[in-house]
Chain A
Amino acid sequence: MSLLLEIAGLTVGYGAGPTAVLAVQDVDLAVHTGEVVGIAGESGCGKSTLALAATGLLDPPGRVLQGGVRYAGQDLLRLPPAALRHVRLRQIAMVFQASMNVLNPVLRIRDQFLDAMQAHGITSRREAVERTQAVFELVKVPARFLDAYPHQLSGGMRQRTVIALSLVLEPRLIFMDEPTTALDVVVQRAILQSVNDLRVQRDFAVVFITHDLSLLIEIADRIAIMYAGYLVEEASGPELYQQPLHPYTQALMQAFPPLGAVRSRLQGIPGQPPDLRQLPPGCPFAARCGKVRQGTCDTVRPAMTIVTPGHRVACHLYPVSTEGGKQA
């Protein structure tokens, strides 16, 4: 496993000057070849903005204010547009939640695939057709749907088609932003399973973004938790599952009704995420936190600290060690 994508000190804002809203603040995150990195957080935590910024897709008024994104050694944010377009889809692909809006409603599926490949330099029609059929087989959509229009496909089928489109140029990294949220549980599960199978076969890395931590627990090698624009905890999937450290992560873990256990009342997370325009000075989670320490949490923003190798958290309950905060 070698380093594929490195996000360092990334800060992204919407708008300019004193009224700018910082949607992502000082986020560090690394993605290695072939791994699944999950990013979880509530609406407005900055997870989608992070994905857009990291793939060079952020449109104004969104702007990267600080930090950088390196993909395979090159600085993505300073690539000229033509070079960036070449990296996208060929190297880095994106799958979004609203798959209906991604596919062109007046073009047959087959033509959309051929167009995409032609735009990225696959000029042999035969090769393009073969690749298209191959990815359809991978995502388990019958090849007859190649001649269909998007509206003739069910939601699950469409989402599979979009995943197939993201795979057709054999990228090394795929960003998936809530790819299954609009789908039923059974379809969602089947798609996740296909993605994982494909990843093993094709050896690409996945950044999987969702508000549903329970999904990540089943598919992610590493999980990062975001809150109010900050990355507040990161650990391997099993570690985060067994030992969530940040009170927000702990609350998220408790927010799912269990399937099997005896029923008892669970507490949701009280309150709401803070207004990003008026972020309190201390920890952004302080107002909702059950373990808040007045005088510290509400005044001092916690720094990221490494608790055990590979497990870091930004919370005053875990003081920064004197060893310093080098990432493992």
Chain B
Amino acid sequence: MTAPVQAAPEGSATTDSALVLEVRGLSKSFTVGSIGRRRRVRALNGVDLRLERGEVLGLVGESGSGKTTFARALAFLDSPTGGEIWLEGVRQPLQPTPRDLHRYRSRVQMIFQDPYASLDRLHTVYRTLSQPLRSFRIAPASQTRAACAELLESVGLVPATDFLDRYPHELSGGQRQRVGIARALAARPALILADEPTSMLDVSIRLTIMNLLLDLQQGRALSLIFITHDLAGANYVSDRIAILYAGHLLEIGPASALMHDPYHPYTQLLRKAAPDPQGGFRRGERFDASGEPPDLTELAPGCPFVPRCPQARAACHPHLPAWRELGGQHRVRCVLYD
């Protein structure tokens, strides 16, 4: 990575008590391939983010953009290979001990994409929910059942007694995802990472799950990172939106600014590609979507979007563009706005 890249876009103080999370230069690479053909996949490259208490950040990107890698690195499911993670003003070790992890996970919880795979099919709902309650000492043993029931009610599974002793296969996809949300809430975290929590659900159920997340987030002053490839969904739930491409953040700003006035050519492409039923019939509208996200083992030094960018020029190639301030917390990383 070349020099101008890492100029932290958001200053460097972390003592701000309103900040729940600050991530600086977060990177994650994997080694793939068999002996003799090993290659590095740089899935996440120097991501900087700050999240305030009670804020919802939408992280938007296509498959392979690194958005799930980001969530898993942030949840220490896969340890990051570089950068800093500060949680509530405390810097976290990148190689945490089990004890560090336990403390961290009492504050940061995750909701997974696939409600069919993320619940243990041999565990009842009660068992799934009681585990974090016990592990994080949220409720004494005598009150675990009542606490589980309360969690179920908070995610709209009522009457809770109908659900406590059920197994995942007895639940619909939407109900399973609600159990997944209840499990994340059980630890009473400050921050929830929701990785595509609605993408496996029917369109008709997505909105109710997004509404539930918003209700919970507002009622509990939770911070939420909502990871998705759906720009409209991100706009619906988020205060701010960040655009991730090939492991790099390309644009970040208030949701309304990104939707109404996207600056980066990639954000503009995403905006145009999103179905927009309220926008009426667009059958005649042409749309240039040539190319696919780049091979992360062979990333050139410049802007990662160059091979697909209709406005690419010489200045895009030598190194990653620096962040440009557009005002009102809106920033973009593109040479067009020098």
Contact = CB atoms under 8 A, between A and B. Distances in A.
Contact of B276 (A193, A219, A259, A272): A259
Given A186-B62, A272-B172, A257 B259 contact: no
B287 A193 contact: yes
B292 A187 contact: yes
B280 interface: yes
Interface in A255-299: 255-261, 263, 265-270, 272
Q: Taking chain B's interface residues, is the majority helix, strand, or loop, or is none over half, making it mixed?
A: helix
B260 interface: yes
Contacts of A211: 202-204
A257 B232 contact: yes
B232 A219 contact: no
B289 A218 contact: no
Contacts, number: 131
B205 interface: yes
A186 B207 contact: no
Interface string A183-198: 0111111100100100
A213 B214 CA distance: 24
A77 interface: no
Contacts of A241: 277, 280-281
A255 B174 CA distance: 15
A237 B275 contact: no
Interface in B204-251: 204-211, 214, 229-233, 235-236
B211 A268 contact: yes
Nearest to B256: A263
Interface stretch (B18-26, B29-37, B159-167, B266-274): B266-274
B275 A212 contact: yes
Contacts of B277: 213-214, 217, 241, 253, 256
B327 interface: no
A269 B62 contact: no
B283 interface: yes
- Chain A CB count within 10 A is highest, among B231, B235, B283, for B283
B207 A185 contact: no
A257 B292 contact: no
A138 to B, nearest CB: 15
Contacts of A155: 63
Contact of B232 (A43, A187, A256, A269): A256
Contacts of B235: 257, 259, 263
A319 interface: no
B24 to A, nearest CB: 28
A42 interface: yes
Contact of B229 (A185, A255, A259, A266): A185
A219 B286 CA distance: 13
A268 B208 contact: yes
A324 B6 CA distance: 72
B83 interface: no
Contact of A189 (B204, B207, B236, B287): B287
Interface residues of A, number: 44
A296 B201 CA distance: 32
B11 interface: no
A225 to B, nearest CB: 11
Given A184-B229, A214-B276, A190 B211 contact: no
A267 B204 CA distance: 10
B259 A218 contact: no
Contacts of B231: 185, 259
A307 interface: no
B130 to A, nearest CB: 26
B259 A256 contact: no
Interface in B170-187: 172-174
A179 B211 CA distance: 28
A154 B62 CA distance: 13
B281 A268 contact: no
A83 B173 CA distance: 40
Contacts of A173: none
Contact of A268 (B206, B255, B287): B206
A154 B292 contact: yes
B282 interface: yes
Interface string A25-56: 00000000000000000110000000000000
Contacts of A184: 62-63, 229
Q: 3 closest A-B pairs (Cβ-Cβ)?
A: A268-B207, A257-B236, A268-B208
Given A218-B275, A255-B207, A268-B210, 8 more contacts: A186-B269, A186-B273, A186-B289, A187-B62, A190-B273, A212-B275, A259-B278, A259-B279
12 contacts: A184-B229, A211-B203, A213-B203, A213-B277, A214-B275, A217-B281, A255-B204, A260-B276, A263-B235, A265-B211, A268-B205, A270-B208
